[in-house]
Amino acid sequence: MSVLVLMEDGGPSRQTLTLARKFGEPRSVRIDAILPFAPDALATALAQAADELDASAVFAAGTERGNEVMARLAARMDLPFAANCIAAAPGDPVEVTRLRWGGSLLEEARLHSPRPLITVAPHTVAADDGSVPPEVDLHHPHDRDLTVRVSDHVEPSSAGVSLAAAKVIVSGGRGVGSKEGFAIIEELAALLGAAVGCSRAVTSAGWRPHTDQVGQTGTKVAPEVYIACGISGATQHMAGLKGAKRIVAINSDPQAPLMLNADYTVTGDLKEIVPAISAEIRKRR
């Protein structure tokens, strides 16, 4: 029995293979098989390949593009689709465990489908170290599948340290109090060569641009140290912090969820504590 896997470069696709092998012998279609990226054409190619192979299931990594192409395949083939799974057991029905709320909740579900369509949530499953599955030959895309395709690329405009790649992040929440209040956050970030982050409450209030937001609907970060100042720690925010190595929480409320989920805490007024940390760093230079 064959299983079809949409492959990208990098870890998430190797992790996807780990679950896919339970469903059969993997064959692959590369996500860059059709360039520029044209998701409808890829979905059509996957559907044809799945039919020709009589594939028992189709898998992709739960990346933005993996989920997008798989949803189009599901719509095209009129099949259900389980996104961001962390476990899947073959059978009728297929039993899956998938992420909800950006990983703050797990869902056990049954997938009733003649051909299960499953994406695997990145960094939740061990990577497969077997051979790369052989590629399937694809048909030429039809013009009608090329209406939606990438026609241009715009480079990021923001200078400074990128949030997703930052080693240190100094982040502020509602407790910072105002747009101007971020001056002390920026000062500490500059001393540490860190990126400035914030919570959703801050972007909703218009104090910082959305590009600074850490969380489920913002950027998911993986720094060595994350310093959270005046952030309560709603699940929306915590969903962006799963990759952080060390979390330091500064908050006046010792019972704030982030204070209970941090590695280090400082209790008190961030307007005194943050400048004091900056001063201490300067003193030691």
Q: Which of residues 106-145 bind another protein (CB under 8 A)?
A: 106-113, 119
Out of 15, 16, 84, 171, point to the residue binding another protein (CB under 8 A). 84
| CA-to-CA dists, residue 201 to 113, 207, 215, 232, angstroms | 41, 9, 11, 10
Examine residue 259 and tell whether it contacts another protein (CB under 8 A).
yes
CA gap 212, 268 in Å, rounded: 24
Out of 21, 52, 104, 123, point to the residue binding another protein (CB under 8 A). 104
Contact 57, 23 (CB under 8 A): yes
Q: Are strands 225-229 and 105-111 parallel, antiparallel or unpaired?
A: unpaired
Q: Least distance (Å) from another protein to the CB of residue 18?
A: 19
Q: Which is nearer to another protein, 2 or 207 (CB)?
A: 207
* Choices 18-26, 132-140, 174-182, 277-285 (CB under 8 A): range interacting with another protein: 277-285
Q: Least distance (Å) from another protein to the CB of residue 52?
A: 22
Q: How many CB atoms lie within 10 A of CB 147?
A: 9
Out of 21, 22, 30, 149, point to the residue binding another protein (CB under 8 A). 149
Q: Least distance (Å) from another protein to the CB of residue 54?
A: 20
Q: Tokens 């952080």, residue?
A: 244
Out of 23, 59, 81, 182, point to the residue binding another protein (CB under 8 A). 81
Q: Least distance (Å) from another protein to the CB of residue 187?
A: 13
Q: Tokens 């959703």, residue?
A: 200
Map the footprint of another protein across residues 25-64, applying CB under 8 A.
Answer: 37, 39, 64
Out of 21, 22, 76, 123, point to the residue binding another protein (CB under 8 A). 76
* Choices 21-29, 50-58, 175-183, 264-272 (CB under 8 A): range interacting with another protein: 264-272
Q: Least distance (Å) from another protein to the CB of residue 137?
A: 25
Out of 35, 75, 132, 183, point to the residue binding another protein (CB under 8 A). 75
Map the footprint of another protein across residues 1-30, applying CB under 8 A.
Answer: none
Examine residue 103 and tell whether it contacts another protein (CB under 8 A).
yes
Contacts with 94 (C-beta within 8 Å, 6 or more apart), sequence order = 57, 82, 88, 110, 111, 113, 116, 118
Number of residues binding to another protein, judged by CB under 8 A: 94
| CA-to-CA dists, residue 22 to 25, 47, 121, 190, angstroms | 8, 20, 16, 49
Q: Which is nearer to another protein, 27 or 58 (CB)?
A: 58
Q: Which is nearer to another protein, 25 or 149 (CB)?
A: 149
3-state secondary structure of 77: helix
Map the footprint of another protein across residues 183-242, applying CB under 8 A.
Answer: 192, 200, 203-204, 206, 210-211, 213, 216-218, 224-225, 232-236, 242
| CA-to-CA dists, residue 155 to 122, 152, 165, 213, angstroms | 25, 10, 16, 19
Q: Residues of 201-216 as b/e, b for ≥16 C-beta within 10 angstroms?
A: bbbeeebbeeebbbbb
Spatial CA neighbour of 86 closest among 131, 116, 126? 126
